[in-house]
Structure 1
Amino acid sequence: MTRAPLRENAKRSVMIAGHRTSVSLEAEFWSALQDIALGRGQSVQALIGAIDSERGERNLSSAIRVFVLRVFRDGSAPSERPFPDRAGIGEGVQEAGGRMGEA
Structure 2
Amino acid sequence: MKSPVVKRSIVIAGHKTSVSLEDAFWAGLKEIAHGKDMTLSEMVASIDGGRGDGNLSSAIRLFVLDYYRDAARAARGI
Report the TM-score, using the length of structure 2 for normalisation: 0.85
- 1:33 pairs with 20, 29, 32, which one? 29
Structure 2: which 5+ residue stretches go unaligned? 73-78
Bigger radius of gyration among the two: 1
- For this pair of structures, how many residues does the alignment match? 72
| Alpha-carbon distance in structure 2 between the residues aligned to 1:7 and 1:35 | 17
The one of the two structures with greater contact order (alpha-carbon pairs below 8 A, sep at least 6) is 1
Structure 1: which 5+ residue stretches go unaligned? 77-103
**Which has the larger share of helix?**
2
3-state SS in 2 of match to 1:13: strand
Give structure 1 regions of 4+ aligned residues with deviation exceeding 6 angstroms.
none
Give yes or no for the alignment of 1:42 onto 2:42: no
3-state SS in 1 of match to 2:71: coil
Q: Tell me the residue number matched to 2:68.
A: 72
Deviations 1:5-25 (A, max 9, x none): x22112111112222111110
Deviations 1:27-48 (A, max 9, x none): 0001000110010001111100
Bigger shift: residues 14-23 or 53-62: 14-23
- 1:14 pairs with 10, 15, 35, which one? 10
RMSD: 1.2
Identity of aligned residues (%): 49
3-state SS in 1 of match to 2:29: helix
| Alpha-carbon distance in structure 2 between the residues aligned to 1:43 and 1:10 | 20
Amino acid at match of 2:22: E
